[in-house]
Amino acid sequence: MKTVENGNAVKLHYKGTFPNGEVFDDSRERGEMMELLVGAGRLLKGFENALIGMKEGDVKTINLTADEAYGQPVEAAVLTVPKGSFPPEFEFKVGGRVQGAGPMGQPVLAEIVSFTDEEVTLDHNHPLAGKDINFEIELVEIDKSTSEE
């Protein structure tokens, strides 16, 4: 039976949880499988490495420390910007997520930490930075055309 190797295109379902069991992401709840090319480096290294050797139908649970997942929060990623940087009709809410463009036009995501009449403090760290996380991975399909049988 075929097992996953680097270079395989695969389809899978996953559920991401915190150590206390709280679910932060579930592909089944969203109704969409993840499709990816193993070895392309687009996922967390621990997640991608866990796929190697899996067979269709296999289910595996992995546990990643914060350092293995999204790292620790970086203080320099918390910035204060003028409130005028936002459109006049923007509704500010602590904990709200905002999206904008960085200095080079790249997409930027942040969470509103606080705001005053003049300034907004934004946290650009990944929302899961500093958190240990778990994934239950179910390998649904290995694309037979991506490598030799």
pTM for this model (two decimals): 0.82
Q: Could you report the per-residue pLDDT of 53-104, keeping only the tens digit for each?
A: 999 999 999 999 999 999 999 999 999 999 998 999 999 999 999 998 877 8
pLDDT band at 146 (very low <50, low <70, confident <90, very high): low
Judge if 22 and 54 occupy the same domain.
yes
How many angstroms separate the CA atoms of 108 and 100, rounded? 5
Whether 3 is in a domain gets the answer: no
| Number of structural domains the chain divides into | 2
Assign residue 28 the CATH number of its domain. 3.10.50.40
Q: In sequence order, what are the residues at sequence separation of 6 or more whose Cβ sits closer than 8 angstroms to the Cβ of residue 28?
A: 13, 15
Whether 19 is in a domain gets the answer: yes
From 33, 37, 39, select the one nearest 14 (Cα to Cα).
33
Q: Which domain holds residue 79?
A: 75-123
Judge if 13 and 66 occupy the same domain.
yes
Judge if 57 and 87 occupy the same domain.
no
Q: Could you report the per-residue pLDDT of 9-36, keeping only the tens digit for each?
A: 999 999 999 999 999 999 999 999 999 9
Cα end-to-end distance, the chain, whole Å = 9
pLDDT band at 145 (very low <50, low <70, confident <90, very high): low
pLDDT band at 7 (very low <50, low <70, confident <90, very high): very high
Assign residue 113 the CATH number of its domain. 2.40.10.330
How many angstroms separate the CA atoms of 132 and 18, rounded? 7
Q: Would you call 112 helix, strand, or coil by DSSP? A: strand
Judge if 103 and 138 occupy the same domain.
no
Judge if 20 and 65 occupy the same domain.
yes
DSSP 65-101: -TTTTT----GGGEEEEEGGGS-TT----TT-EEEEE
Whether 2 is in a domain gets the answer: no
pLDDT band at 106 (very low <50, low <70, confident <90, very high): confident
Length of the chain: 149
